[in-house]
Amino acid sequence: MSPDHLTALAGGTSLLIVLLVALGWLWIYRKTGSSHASAMRIWRVLTGGREIADKAIRDYIEEQDGLMAFRLGSGMRVRSAEHARRAICFIAKHDLSPDRLRQVGDYFDANELKMGKLPSFWYRVWLFFSATVLAGLFLVAGFTALEQRTLVSLKQTGSWYWLSQTSAEPVGPVNESARLWFSACSEAPAATATYTSEREILCSIRRDPAYLDYLIETLRGQRIALVFLMVISFFVAIWQWRDFLRSTAAIRLEKELSEKLAATSPDESVNAEPAVDDSAAIDPA
């Protein structure tokens, strides 16, 4: 390995580290809904970690640090530290799984300590169906991207073919005799061969000196398009499947809460709205 190569690797590693840090900050902002964590990290770096002299401000900052840590760890976007403490008591009182609450996401209102609007049955069916279709599309695009042939359509007839350097094969469930081998273009077509008009078109295209260059360029563009389709279908399928799991978990959590609340107090409801302390700390922007 040459010194020049080592320099290139070092530069690439530095760029990767910066990208990972930026993605980390973006992920924290998305989970906490606040730029407090990133802003305080920058402030501590710039000031060398110097402690804030004013006790009231220091206590406020520490409380907000704890609030952001709770949001990040629990997945519940409570408005204040007081709401976080109430949520902790609610979880402990009803023996709930923090992982279950994290999974249901916004279907559970952590500020009001009640279930939100639950998804309908048909919405969950749609999520499952769309995720399955997109997963299938991802697999089809992936296998097609591995093809050494390019998919084209004849303008004159609208028929679709897989083209390679040596043959043209119709798309669909066809037998081997339907494939046109370009080496047989000078021979008379068999009775079961490709239609004579399409055969002549394909043979004339293959005889064109620019055919191989066209094939290589088209194959490259086809793979780029398929990779793009794979990326889009993959992420949308993951998003739909994640929402399906979240909605299913919300239905189960609502049932679990109803059973536990009914067992402890007949008058208590899942959607009971606890009083909220108006003096709770203000959520930073």
Please provide the DSSP assignment of 110-154 as one string. TTTTEE-PPPPHHHHHHHHHHHHHHHHHHHHHHHHHT-SSEEEE-
CA-CA distance, 151 to 153, in Å (whole number)?
7
Beta strands in 177-262 (DSSP E): 180-181
Taking only the tens place, the pLDDT of each residue in 218-246 is 888 888 888 999 999 999 999 999 999 98
Higher pLDDT, 113 or 3: 113
The predicted pLDDT at position 174 comes to 62
Q: Residue 31 pLDDT more than 60?
A: yes
pLDDT score recorded for residue 39: 81
Distance between CA 103 and CA 123 in Å, rounded? 18
Query: Among 103-107, 111-115, 157-161, 186-190, which stretch is predicted with the lowest mean pLDDT?
Result: 186-190
Between helix 55-74 and helix 36-47 the angle, nearest 10°, is 130
- Taking every pair of C-alpha atoms in the chain, what is the biggest distance, in angstroms? 96
Q: Is the pTM higher than 0.85? A: no
Q: Is the pLDDT of residue 51 over 60?
A: yes
Q: C-alpha distances in angstroms, 38 versus 25, 42, 47, 150, 244?
A: 6, 6, 14, 48, 31
**183-222 pLDDT, tens per residue?**
888 776 554 454 567 788 888 888 888 888 888 888 888 8
The yes-or-no verdict on residue 281 having pLDDT over 50 is: no
